[in-house]
Structure 1
Amino acid sequence: MTRMPMTATEQAIAHLDAATWAAANTRMATKMLAEFSHELLIAPSKEADDEHVYTLSLEQGVQYRFAARVLELEHWHIEPGTLEKTVDGVPAALDAVTLVTELRDVLGIGPAALPIYLEEITATLYSMAYKIAHGGPRAADFVDGDFQRIEAAMTEGHPAFVANSGRIGFDSIDYRSYTPEAAAPIRLVWIAAHTSRAEFACSADRSYAEHMAAELDAATHAAFTARLTDRGLDAADYRFMPVHPWQWHNKLVYLFAGEIATGHLVYLGFGQDTYQAQQSIRTLFNRDHPTRCYVKMALSILNMGFTRGLSPYYMRGTPEINDWIDTLVRGDDYLQTKGFSILREVASIGYRHPQFEAAAPKTDAYNKMLAALWRESPFKQIQSGQRLMTMAALLHRDAEDASVIGALIDASPLDTDAWLARYLDAYMSPLLHCFFAHDLVFMPHGENIILVLEDNVPVRTIMKDIAEEVGIMNTEIELPGEVARLSVEVPEELKVLSLFTDLFDLIFRYIGAILHTERGYSQQAFWQQVADCVRNYQAAHPEFTDKFARYDLFAPEFKRSCLNRLQLRNNAQMIDLDDPAGNLQFAGTLVNPIARPPA
């Protein structure tokens, strides 16, 4: 008897069996205890008779017990398979949502935010169960893996955040249609936006016509134009605009109904190209024409501390900002020797709804529902023999707990020391230079960095997500036009955290732990590599000696900046983008693993 294919309703729950759900909860509870311990939200106690076994005792007889190693930067590596829960001494099932409710007082989450956070935790569990059920490629497969297959294989997103896949707003069909792990083909909705409401901007090396000719095939462009003409409209009065299908069906057809009815917005149809969602969920990669631009669009779902809209007001200056950063990078001899580059956001468009604009501040989510930008493809920047990989892959472990970074080292001609030195020189050295030479900081987490590999060795890095996540921390520098938006006032003592937190705590803490626990590569050896990279840069740039002293990367300790505390404090808007430093959450300090030994 032939089995009928599953319906969408059946597919939505196909991965929700008891064993998979238990595995997801174990993984989530383990991560929760590790990251909450790192942020000093909880303090497990070491058992008297075994220094590697810890217990966390809570109210009503609840106790968690596990074996762990506390590594550099107070990274808690909980040994797989050791986490157990008891209630009054009786074994109990691990449940991540229950764990949050048990910890609600120490987490400091308010009563209004708690149910939303529980929804985010549950949605992240749902996603984790999906990934467990589907397995994904082995770590060794990443060695020859396709750029987009690797992108879809990531299981953690941002590794520090516990609730990192909330995606509140998606239903179960949306999950299989639009999430990066589903990797389903997506075709974009295209609309025509009247120039009285919409503003298009582009880089100096292109025009609107040239950009659209590059992104739409001639037949599609002609068909879209004909639809305007058939309605008696002049195409010169409109700008073509891509819209995420979810945004069209769930937001725009309702909230922009008046704009559609009056012809300020005209539905054109679906484009021909298929795209794939990236880890940054509102950014899509063109699968049919990989050298065409990524498209990033407003997507009004709540995910990891923000509603993921796009500001039409920010879009106005995006290409100008990207051109300015690109010129700076290309004009810097040191950055060029390191091969460091950016993916320019070369065009943007934003639509202003007059009624929402009159009713709410420009920063409100209702004024961020219809905007898009186009970002260059990295395939235009690589040479023969090179391939691309998201840097998030270096923190990834497969279903058998094998690491991708380990597989890359094994498949390369280098030993661990030499491989790490090459990686740090490709990744960290340019960021050090941007900080010390230009007071320029990026958001260099794994999703925002693309590694260029040769023989499985990183040879250079490409930075993306520029306009929204770049800052100039010297307010005395006069910046032109829209670029002035990059000027950010940061207290002097916090400036160096852009390196300590973003690199040391959020990237190197995990890489060092993976290499130590999987391969026995010592923590001392790893952090010596980091220290050597810093010293090599400083030795090559004596002109910045004063800055090296002022922003001392060898200081004994640095402030512990806590991302989960941020999300727990306000999971609807973690930070004010106009004052990012003003919202940071700190908890004591971390011992700097590269601090100079005492004299």
Structure 2
Amino acid sequence: MTAQPTTADERCIRHLAPHHWRAADAALVAKMLSEFSHEGLLDPEHEHRLRYRLVSDDGQTVYRFAARRFALYHWHIEPDDIERLCDGAHLPLDAAALLIDFRERLGMSDAVLSLYLEEIASTRYSAAFKRATARMSAADFVNADFQAVEAAMTEGHPAFVANNGRIGFSGTDFAAYAPEAAAPIRLVWVAGHRSRLSFAVADDRTVADHLAGELDQCTRARFDETLTARGLSPADYHYMPVHPWQWQHKLVFAFADEIASGHLVHLGFAPNAYQAQQSVRTLFNHDVPSRCYVKMSLSILNMGFSRGLSPYYMGGTPAICDWLADLVANDTYLQDKGFSILREVAAVGYRHPRFDAGLPPGDGANKMLSALWRESPVTRLGQGESLMTMAALLHRDTEGRAVIAALIEAAGEGVQPWLDAWLDAYLGPILHCFYAHDLVFMPHGENLILVMRDHKVDRVIMKDIAEEIAVMNPEADLPERVSRIAVPVPDEVRTLSIFTDLFDLIFRYVAPILELQCDFPEHRFWQRVAQAIARYQQAHPELAEKFAAYDLFAPRFTRSCLNRLQLANNRQMLDLADPTASLQFHGHLDNPVAALTQRAVSA
């Protein structure tokens, strides 16, 4: 019998081998037990020593597991240490079944559970693919290419359980556009009539200059000819990129009237191949790495949001980035630390007249056609330097070995010097922006790029600026085009930008890795954090009143819960007009540096 070629339908399930699925399922169950317990959604009963148990809502199923407890109510649970039992018989670990077992305690409505089960299935689908295609050990990351690291990431967000939902992708779309697939992506380009479309650029360029840097002249001439052949004038249009998924699944239908009227004109593909980044809708120019990243509307549902881009925000994006870049360039402390940002140097947004007139700006229909360009970090490298997403520090390979441990071993100077270099480059600038400028970012791993030298962190680069930045002072004296980032934030919430975003969502995971894989006790890690804070405070006595008002050595802080947020509404987690009001708080966490205050200050 003649062998039949493998079809796309078969390729998209090739990685769903039983052993990959079991491993992905068990790992997600371990994460669910850990993170749901951390947020107080589950309350494991202590049996003896390191053993704990949970009984399902109906009393029929028992989970027994070993857990190591760490600061910030962190539960370190390994998949092999979990049993699921019913009437004494062992059952396979199943992430979807766990949701059913504890549905009442998780507080899930029918609507939330229906979608969440789909998100959990998609997250496991992605995890099984990553296991089936894993080629890099933690040690391989040490000298790996920037984009090889980006594609090899396995965990997604460290706290969110359902972090790879990507509702809207087909199996073929996953293979074409998922970051872990690392397939080359060519962008669809369109011409938008200037009456519909706004194009903003940074102060150091014009629209023409910018497009000349991103598209070769032959491509621009071809686009001009496409318009001319239809009797249209190129002077009446701006060119913009569109994610190919967005074109096929959204725009050809939702913008059909605009296409028919000639306000939106399809131009075809540009030649450069791009690679999807961890955020999915941001792409890196693989063919010409010095060219900009491109971030585009991608109306899939992922981690509590439809991932569109607002055209109403695009107009101010380059101005906000210019303002921040100027602030950083003129701040001696930030310059001494080598801290920098990747500006979003151009942004374009198309307003469909019917959606614009009939729906609020925050509606997903008004976010279907926007794009921005972000500077590439590649041009900032010196001799002997390399780039790595900070999210890689928490990555563990299929043998459980963590990248941060491999980097420390490769650097060869021990844990403490490596940590101090990282904290000096990362924590120091974040503290300075907070105290000196009332300025906060979203400083999680995916938004930071590490510049590595001799396997140690030399400096950090912050990205994803305009949508995530805030000045926590509504009276701040800001240029008009930047004023939207000045927001009121209650005093009791301000320090959560450090406590939650750094302590709980980065450091909480680093400390156990160092203890378990590098023989570096957890208390010593938190001592290094306390020392870094104290060094900054001692160097800036002029900010003493702010240090007292926003005390990072306070005994405890409010626990802000991300999974509770997603379980409350997994279609729209936050009201973006007032995100603070949407946050989910549950109790408090003991501050692991509180008891180290005197020791840090006297050191």
TM-score relative to the length of structure 2: 0.98
Aligned counterpart, 2:511:
512
Question: What letter matches 2:53 in structure 1?
Answer: T
SS in 1 for 2:75: strand
Contact map agreement 2:69 2:75 (CA 8 A) in 1:
yes
Aligned counterpart, 1:340:
339
Aligned counterpart, 1:439:
438
1:90 equivalent to 2:89? Answer yes
Contact map agreement 2:530 2:596 (CA 8 A) in 1:
no
Aligned counterpart, 1:193:
192
Question: What letter matches 1:46 in structure 2?
Answer: H
Deviations 1:278-329 (A, max 9, x none): 0011000000000000000000000001000000000011001110011111
1:65 equivalent to 2:72? Answer no
Contact map agreement 2:134 2:152 (CA 8 A) in 1:
no
Aligned counterpart, 1:295:
294
Q: Distance in 1 between matches of 2:456 and 2:509?
A: 19
Any residues of structure 2 matched to 1:269-418 within 5 Å, and which? 269-418=268-417
Aligned counterpart, 1:587:
586
How many Å apart are 1:224 and its aligned residue? 0.7
Question: What letter matches 2:546 in structure 1?
Answer: K
Q: Distance in 2 between matches of 1:402 and 1:459?
A: 23
1:529 equivalent to 2:528? Answer yes
How many Å apart are 1:519 and its aligned residue? 2.3
How many Å apart are 1:80 and its aligned residue? 4.1
Aligned counterpart, 1:30:
30
Deviations 1:235-273 (A, max 9, x none): 010000100000000000011001001100111000100
Question: What letter matches 1:25 in structure 2?
Answer: D
Q: 1:170 to 1:199 in 2, by over 3 A?
A: same
Question: What letter matches 2:496 in structure 1?
Answer: L
Any residues of structure 2 matched to 1:100-115 within 5 Å, and which? 100-115=99-114
Aligned counterpart, 2:182:
183
Q: 1:116 to 1:323 in 2, by over 3 A?
A: same
Question: What letter matches 1:464 in structure 2?
Answer: K
SS in 2 for 1:114: helix
Question: What letter matches 1:55 in structure 2?
Answer: R
Contact map agreement 1:310 1:370 (CA 8 A) in 2:
yes
Aligned counterpart, 2:500:
501
Moved over 4 A (4+): 1-5
Q: Distance in 1 between matches of 2:91 and 2:144?
A: 40
Which of 406-415 and 307-316 deviates more? Answer: 406-415
1:11 equivalent to 2:15? Answer no
Contact map agreement 1:228 1:235 (CA 8 A) in 2:
yes
SS in 2 for 1:596: helix
Contact map agreement 1:555 1:596 (CA 8 A) in 2:
no
How many Å apart are 1:3 and its aligned residue? 6.0
Number of positions where the alignment pairs a residue of Structure 1 with one of Structure 2: 597
Contact map agreement 1:188 1:271 (CA 8 A) in 2:
yes
How many Å apart are 1:5 and its aligned residue? 4.7
TM-score relative to the length of structure 1: 0.98
Q: Distance in 2 between matches of 1:137 and 1:370?
A: 36
Question: What letter matches 1:145 in structure 2?
Answer: A
SS in 2 for 1:181: helix
Question: What letter matches 2:475 in structure 1?
Answer: E
SS in 1 for 2:268: strand
Contact map agreement 2:342 2:461 (CA 8 A) in 1:
yes
Q: Distance in 2 between matches of 1:543 and 1:6?
A: 68
Question: What letter matches 1:269 in structure 2?
Answer: G
Deviations 1:398-450 (A, max 9, x none): 01101100110111142100000000000000000000000000000000000
Q: Distance in 1 between matches of 2:437 and 2:101?
A: 47
Contact map agreement 1:61 1:89 (CA 8 A) in 2:
no
Aligned counterpart, 2:124:
125
Q: Distance in 2 between matches of 1:578 and 1:432?
A: 26
Q: Distance in 2 between matches of 1:581 and 1:517?
A: 36
Contact map agreement 1:298 1:368 (CA 8 A) in 2:
yes
Deviations 1:328-355 (A, max 9, x none): 1111000000000000000010000001
Q: Distance in 1 between matches of 2:253 and 2:596?
A: 63
Aligned counterpart, 1:79:
78
Contact map agreement 1:189 1:245 (CA 8 A) in 2:
yes
Question: What letter matches 1:52 in structure 2?
Answer: L
Any residues of structure 2 matched to 1:414-429 within 5 Å, and which? 414-429=413-428
Deviations 1:471-506 (A, max 9, x none): 000112122122111011111111001000000000
Question: What letter matches 2:267 in structure 1?
Answer: L
Aligned counterpart, 1:55:
53
Any residues of structure 2 matched to 1:448-527 within 5 Å, and which? 448-527=447-526
Aligned counterpart, 2:227:
228
Gaps of 5+ in 2: 599-603
Provide the alpha-carbon RMSD of the alignment.
1.2
SS in 1 for 2:322: helix
Deviations 1:190-244 (A, max 9, x none): 0000000000000000001100100001111111111111111110100001000
Q: Distance in 2 between matches of 1:2 and 1:394?
A: 48
How many Å apart are 1:577 and its aligned residue? 1.7
Question: What letter matches 2:149 in structure 1?
Answer: I
How many Å apart are 1:382 and its aligned residue? 1.6
1:541 equivalent to 2:540? Answer yes
How many Å apart are 1:6 and its aligned residue? 2.2
Q: Distance in 2 between matches of 1:67 and 1:93?
A: 17
Q: Distance in 1 between matches of 2:334 and 2:194?
A: 39
How many Å apart are 1:85 and its aligned residue? 0.2
Deviations 1:334-379 (A, max 9, x none): 0000000000000010000001112211110000000000000001
Aligned counterpart, 1:39:
39
Contact map agreement 1:413 1:455 (CA 8 A) in 2:
no
Q: Distance in 1 between matches of 2:213 and 2:378?
A: 15
Any residues of structure 2 matched to 1:553-568 within 5 Å, and which? 553-568=552-567
Q: 1:2 to 1:77 in 2, by over 3 A?
A: farther
Question: What letter matches 1:501 in structure 2?
Answer: T
Aligned counterpart, 2:201:
202
How many Å apart are 1:89 and its aligned residue? 1.4
Aligned counterpart, 2:601:
none
Contact map agreement 1:54 1:68 (CA 8 A) in 2:
yes
Gaps of 5+ in 1: none
Question: What letter matches 1:412 in structure 2?
Answer: A
> Identity over the aligned pairs, expressed in percent?
59
SS in 2 for 1:474: coil
Which of 111-120 and 189-198 deviates more? Answer: 111-120
Question: What letter matches 1:109 in structure 2?
Answer: M
Question: What letter matches 1:461 in structure 2?
Answer: V
